[in-house]
Amino acid sequence: MHKLWLIIKREYVTRVKTKGFVIGTVIVPLIGIGFTLLIVFLVSHQSRQSLRLVIVDNAGGLAPSVAAGLQTKMPDGTARFNVVDSINRPASLAAAQDDLRAKINSGALDAYLMLPSDLSQPVELHTKNPGNFSLLGQLSAAVNQAVVEAWLRARGIHVDNVRELVRSADLQVIKVSKTGESVEKGQTIGVAIALVILLYTTLLMYGIITMRSVLEEKTTRTMEVLISAVTPSELLAGKILGVAGVAFTQFLIWTASLALLGSYGAAMAAMGGGSSILSALHVPASLLLCALVYFFGGYFLYSSMFAAVGAACSNEQDAAQLQWIAMAPLVFTMVIYSLVLNDPASRVSIVLSEIPFFAPVLMPLRVSLQTPPAWQLALSITLLFVSIGAVIYGSAKVYRVGILMYGKRPTLPELVRWLRYS
């Protein structure tokens, strides 16, 4: 045990003293916050230019009221839609469409909206860029209003302001949790995304730190001296625990700064200054604790795999090629996390967040959105820690064989064969 402690201490002290640690401690949260702010900014400031639109009205008479319904403005005051022209019952629909299509392709026009002669048929929006969903809602609302207005007018009912009548209600979302209610202005999503990015970045970062640390001992041939004094298991465990200590230190620094910023924000709000960004940084302690537990679970799971990769390789290039084995599940988590973000209580989300390789990121994400049942948390933690045991057992075998092997990078079947060595 004494030797294990010496290994842990050396690993911890030499890492915490480096410039890399200081930089990492400052840079990683900045990247996380920056990335979150960027997403929020992009969502709120998308399409700064108004959409140049032509209305082709096959029904006749609807175009002016549709255009009147498209008067919304963007936050900076520019009109969201610019109705360039409206064509009432074109003589040749095909010729008109050819013309409009050419304009869209030349860039003179962004889209044209075609109202059918029979309003039970779908309204068509022809555009080069069909992905802009936020515009679709406004367009269909404008068409709805125009149709309702025409229908009412045809029956002799005059309404001054149809828009007021058919306006959809503003829906304010208020998050209910055990601690009370809070008005949702996107801070839950912000915290959730920040959490995902932070967990992913730190798991990857510490995994790679562990891998490079093993690799350094191999490439510098320090390994031979070390394993003539300690067992490979002591060395592996010491390395992983030492780096875990570094990660824990970093988390403490981050949590303390977060708490300071949060209380600063609260103080500012109390004084009437009100700093919305700072008060949005308020993260419940239960979520922090959950993130911490899953981070360390994920760290032990991934870093032991990264350590095995480091041990199996003899140089940086080989390691860069082989590290996908450890990285793949983590990267895949980033591909699927939006499934959980969209619907944290769905069956898919529940199953994904129970799978040990995804749980370290996805379960804290679920917790940040809504509190999952206790049994799901208990099950995922149990599965995670059982898997950690199994993965460390396998990694230690690969590690023990790998640290003495120099030369050609092993193939995956060779690594599997190493697992069977006694």
Contact footprint for another protein (CB under 8 A): 3, 6-7, 10, 14, 216-217, 220-222, 224-231, 404
Residue 220 makes CB contacts below 8 A (sequence gap 6+) with none
Provide the residue type at 258 as one letter: L
**Residue holding tokens 């944290």?**
344
User: In this structure, are residues 203 and 298 in contact, taking their beta carbons and an 8 Å threshold?
Assistant: yes
In eight-state DSSP terms, residue 167 is: P
How many CA atoms, within 13 angstroms, populate the side-chain half-sphere of residue 33? 11
Taking the C-alpha atoms of residue 312 and residue 278, their distance in angstroms, rounded to an integer, is: 46
Question: Judging by DSSP bridges, how do beta strands 174-177 and 51-57 pair with one another?
Answer: unpaired
Name all contacts of 137-143 with Cβ < 8 Å and 24+ positions apart: 138/70, 138/72, 138/80, 138/81, 139/70, 139/113, 141/69, 141/168, 142/66, 142/69, 142/70, 143/62, 143/66, 143/69, 143/113, 143/115
Q: What are 271's two structure tokens?
A: 């004084």
Distance of CA 22 to the CA centre of its chain: 25
Residue 236: closest CA among 311, 184, 324: 311
Residue 48: closest CA among 19, 25, 78, 69: 78
φ, ψ for residue 111, nearest 5 deg: -165, 160
